Amino acid sequence: MIRHIVLFTWAADATDEQRAAVAAELRKLPGLIPQLRGYTVGSDAGINQGNHDFAVVADFDDVDDYLIYRDHPEHQKVIAEHIKPILATRAAVQLSV
């Protein structure tokens, strides 16, 4: 299994509405991309200072399924229309589990 983990920090001027739209749009993807085996998205719980603002954790059977997700037009649309406009920083990793 491949696990894809992404962490975002939002720009200082990102609105609550923009942040909520990111979560809402990402949560639509499991219904559109059948290769997703597990999918969790959400805002940081605010327990520790210095954390990123938002995380995505996605599980796939194999690398090919991850690549389908990565390049899927609906996923790319969410990135272009909702994430990039408010993005300050991004960190990501893909690992075998």
Q: Which tens digits make up the pLDDT trace of 29-79?
A: 999 999 999 999 999 999 999 999 999 999 999 999 999 999 999 999 999
What residues does each domain of the chain span? 2-96
Q: State whether residue 54 is helix, strand or coil.
A: strand
pLDDT at 48: 97
Banded model confidence at residue 92, pLDDT cuts 50, 70, 90: very high
C-alpha distances in angstroms, 23 versus 26, 29, 63?
Answer: 5, 10, 24
pLDDT at 59: 98
Output the CATH code of domain 2-96.
Answer: 3.30.70.100
Sequence-ordered list of residues with C-beta below 8 angstroms from that of 96, at least 6 positions apart, any chain: 1, 2, 3
